Structure 1
Amino acid sequence: MATMKDIAKLAGVSTSTVSHVINKTRFVSEDISARVNAAAKELNYAPSALARSLKMNRTKTIGMLVTTSTNPFFGEVVKGVERSCYHQGYSLILCNTEGDTERMRASIDTLLQKRVDGLMLMCTTMEGEPLTEFERYPDIPVVVMDWGPTVNSSDKILDNSYQGGYMATKHLIDLGHTEVGCITGPLHQHQAQNRFSAFKQALADHKIPLNDQWVIESNFECEGGFSAMTQLIEAKTMPSALFICNDMMAMGAINAATEHGIGVPNDLSIVGYDDIRIAQFMSPALTTIHQPKYRLGKAAVEALLAKLQGLNNTPQVIQLEPTLMARKSTKAKR
């Protein structure tokens, strides 16, 4: 591998001149700069990222921890993070926690030892749980995204799940449905709590009674939606509409309904949550609450870089607002 000394020898200049040209640390005449750059190109010289990071005390690398899940929501957020890192000249190191707390803690230690400039956390299995690892690295900025552990010094990027849940339920009510049920996510997670609380509030605001038999807690996965819908179907009565608290469960629920001869939306209107990309290609196309997943990732990167640049030293909460995507899985009550 070529070095600056090799370039200096070929260009007929000093090693310090080569350094100034490549690192743009001092003015060098156009003629000499051209000779140095031509020599560097001829020798296929590549600057050492390690040497540069040691000199600048920056690695231009960001670490991200995310819970492995079948839910495409997480992949779509990661896409926003990776693209934003690329545009800002940063590399991304992605670690999957596999839902294992110890693996997550080990990954954090590994990333910090590799001297990443900052960390983003999106780990459902650690939601709300405090992390003490960062006490040893007080200068490393941290951003917690939507689902994540508690890091007191971190910025938090959140979806307004309460507003989204209310919006979903009100859409069904506006269509004339008064028999409305809900398949929730795990209610120990704050996003599931917020969506379910909004569901109950929307019913109360419109003087519609809550039927506990039509409320089933599930797990945010397709299998959970399928199981919850089967449980509803086996009960004595069925609602005319359901708010299902994420699109993955909605997919499983629609599959179960179809197997039992229940048509969506003719027999049962369904609203999901997340607006994952495949939601619009389902049959029927899923009415759902759109989370700005790309903007969620972009906002996390921007918040992290702002901390690195000293533009914001106070922990902040950035909340992104959801929107309703009305498609074919809901219809007016006859």
Structure 2
Amino acid sequence: MATMKDIARIAKVSTSTVSHVVNNSRFVSDEIREKVLAVVKQLDYKSSALARSLKMKETKTIGMLVTTSDNPFFAEIVANVEHYCNQHHYNLFLCNTNDDPQRLEQCVQTLMQKQVDGLLLMCTESHFQAKLFKLTIPCVIMDWWPAELSADRIFENSELGGYIATKTLIEYNHKDIAIITGDLNKPLAQNRLNGYKKALLEYNLTVRDEWIIESHFNFDGGIAGMEKLLKLRERPTAVFACSDTIAVGAYQVAWQQGLSIPQDISIIGYDDIKLAQYIAPPLTTIHQPKATLAKVAVTQLLHRIKNPAENYRTLRLNPTLVIRQSVKKLSD
């Protein structure tokens, strides 16, 4: 494999001149530049990204740790993160933790060994034992991380989202409103439940324990939660599904039991994944600003890489309501 020394020898210039031409790091006369580039082409020289990264003490790579399930929400976030990394000429190393605390620790070690310039963290492992990760590189937490960590954080106001979802059902004249949550050991699930309770109490509606169904943020979680609700003697007229995947599972159970949405039961979801607009009927849901979350996270991480001594920042993004056809307005 050709080296800069080979090019310098054939072109009869110094190695530093070859480096300046290849990396465009300093002015070189057109005559010398053309001479060097001709030899570069002749030898089919490819510069070593690894050698350059070791010299510059950067690899132009970002690591991302993300919990994966069958929730398309994560896939949409990752796609947006990769898009913004590419815009800044960074490569993304993705590690899926599969909601496994042991795998999470292994992934951290793997990314550190790859010498990534920074880390994006989006993990919800509820049984994670909070221990001090000696992360000496810049990090940005994207909403979820199971332990205390000195890092920038960007999170979605999930309590507000839970409040908006429940308030919407109330404004459609529903008073008997159930909720199917994710694992309540996860702050995200607890926050959405808090928003649900806040809206009910604000409108002087009873918070009924039997209508609070703890489940998981996936399709199976929606199936299990909806089955529990429909076995109750007193059924709710509306359900707040704390993720769109939960809502899709709930749709499946309603269909299996001969119920029509929203004529027999109304459902509102959370996340506004792309699938939400294509199921029948299209799902009314709470929109998370996924593209904005990804863009701000990447931008803040790159800023942190260049400015490691600045104070850590916490940024909050607010969700919004997307009205479709899965909620029926009851008569007064």
**TM exceeding 0.5:** yes
Aligned with 1:240 (options 237, 240, 248):
237
Equivalences for residues 1-334 of structure 1 within 5 A: 1-125=1-125, 130-134=130-134, 137-138=135-136, 140-310=137-307, 313-334=310-331
Distance 1:50 1:107, change over 3 A: same
Gaps of 5+ in 1: none
Please give the alpha-carbon distance, in whole angstroms, between the structure 2 residues aligned to 1:208 and 1:312.
49
Please give the alpha-carbon distance, in whole angstroms, between the structure 1 residues aligned to 2:164 and 2:92.
35
Instruction: Check conservation: 1:109, 1:133, Cα contact below 8 A.
Output: no
Please give the alpha-carbon distance, in whole angstroms, between the structure 1 residues aligned to 2:309 and 2:174.
47
Distance 1:309 1:191, change over 3 A: same
Count of residues in correspondence between the two structures:
331
After superposition, give the CA deviation of every residue in 1:96-127 in whole Å (9 maximum; x if it has no partner): 12222122112211211221111111111158
CA apart distance, 1:68: 2.3
CA apart distance, 1:186: 1.1
Please give the alpha-carbon distance, in whole angstroms, between the structure 2 residues aligned to 1:119 and 1:152.
12
* TM-score between the two structures when normalised by the length of structure 1: 0.94
Please give the alpha-carbon distance, in whole angstroms, between the structure 2 residues aligned to 1:18 and 1:4.
6
Distance 1:128 1:290, change over 3 A: farther
Which amino acid counterpart does residue 273 of structure 1 have in structure 2? Y
Instruction: Check conservation: 2:101, 2:127, Cα contact below 8 A.
Output: no
CA apart distance, 1:31: 2.1
Instruction: Check conservation: 1:244, 1:271, Cα contact below 8 A.
Output: yes
After superposition, give the CA deviation of every residue in 1:135-160 in whole Å (9 maximum; x if it has no partner): xx43x111111121324311111111
What is the root-mean-square deviation of aligned Cα atoms in Å?
Answer: 1.7
Distance 1:328 1:41, change over 3 A: farther
Instruction: Check conservation: 2:184, 2:214, Cα contact below 8 A.
Output: yes
CA apart distance, 1:34: 2.4
* TM-score between the two structures when normalised by the length of structure 2: 0.95
Distance 1:208 1:274, change over 3 A: same
Distance 1:129 1:250, change over 3 A: same
CA apart distance, 1:263: 0.8
SS in 1 for 2:125: helix
After superposition, give the CA deviation of every residue in 1:210-257 in whole Å (9 maximum; x if it has no partner): 222222111111112111111111111111111110011100111101
After superposition, give the CA deviation of every residue in 1:47-73 in whole Å (9 maximum; x if it has no partner): 111111111111111111112211011
Distance 1:171 1:127, change over 3 A: farther
Task: Tell me whether 277-286 or 109-118 shows the greater mean CA deviation.
Answer: 109-118
